[in-house]
Structure 1
Amino acid sequence: MTATDHALDLVAVAAQAAHDKKAEQVLAFDVSDQLAITDAFVLASANNERAVGAIVDEVEDKLRESGAKPIRREGHKEGRWVLLDYGEIVVHVQHEEERSFYALERLWSDCPLIPLTLT
């Protein structure tokens, strides 16, 4: 199984929104073969809590404009690791220290990367 076209569209919107707010290391994984609950993960990081918040706000705004509604949002208060669950995709915006420590790229390295065209 692979991520749906709609999920890939949402990934592109979320990744571009994160990139527009200067997120670092923006990646996306197709996790549909490993997880039944979502098709893709988008990972992005920033070097401080304020930047994490700005990235999260931009991702939420752009996904809302695309008609996507979040199922849940976790970690926004702390600003170190924010998870945005949209059902078909899950967006992780992490402080760079959390990104390094939890190493989600390594955890999901057996899943295919989704190519991103960020402008």
Structure 2
Amino acid sequence: MTVEQMTKVIYDAIDDKLGQDISIINIGAVSTLCDYFVIATAGSQRQVKAITDNVEDEMTKLGLEPRGKEGHGAQNWILLDYGDVMVHVFDEESRAYYNLEKLWKDAPVVDIDTLA
């Protein structure tokens, strides 16, 4: 499975749980941290957890487990690290506060239709 296919599966899993304002940033263009960030907003902390649980379920079906998980306790920002792809799901307030898109403004935004 290519990293682009992984990213598409993650995007679809977020979309299935009504994640909002889903962005894909090509971090690999400016950093060696990973290839892509997938960033999404959830309407509540409960939805943050539901979205990340769905991402994990869909990736597990493909035999892929996250290398790391952060934020399950607070549930206002959960990070799933799949190596080449990092998934960030925020509640609305946390997304506005951390503003990863501005922090990584030199990295190009990717349209989901151009992947896999």
Match runs of 1:23-38 below 5 Å: 23-38=19-34
Match runs of 1:34-113 below 5 Å: 34-113=30-109
Q: Name the CA distance, whole Å, in 1 between partners of 2:7 and 2:109.
A: 11
Residue deviations 1:14-41 (CA, integer Å, cap 9, x gap): 1110011000001101111322131110
TM-score norm. by structure 2 comes to: 0.91
Q: Name the CA distance, whole Å, in 2 between partners of 1:90 and 1:45.
A: 15
The structure whose residues are more often helix, as a share, is: 2
Aligned residues: 113
Among all aligned residue pairs of Structure 1 and Structure 2, give the percentage whose two residues are the same amino acid: 36
5+ unaligned residues in a row in structure 2: which ranges? none
Using the TM superposition, give the Cα deviation of residue 65 of structure 1 relative to its aligned residue in structure 2, in angstroms. 1.4
Using the TM superposition, give the Cα deviation of residue 82 of structure 1 relative to its aligned residue in structure 2, in angstroms. 0.3
Using the TM superposition, give the Cα deviation of residue 8 of structure 1 relative to its aligned residue in structure 2, in angstroms. 1.1
Q: What secondary structure, in the 3-state scheme, does the structure 2 residue paired with 1:76 have?
A: coil
Moved over 2 A (4+): none
Q: Which amino acid aligns with 2:68?
A: R
Conservation of the 8 A alpha-carbon contact between 2:27 and 2:33: no
Residue deviations 1:89-112 (CA, integer Å, cap 9, x gap): 000000110001111111122211
TM-score norm. by structure 1 comes to: 0.89
Q: Which amino acid aligns with 1:7?
A: V
Equivalent in the alignment of 1:17: 13
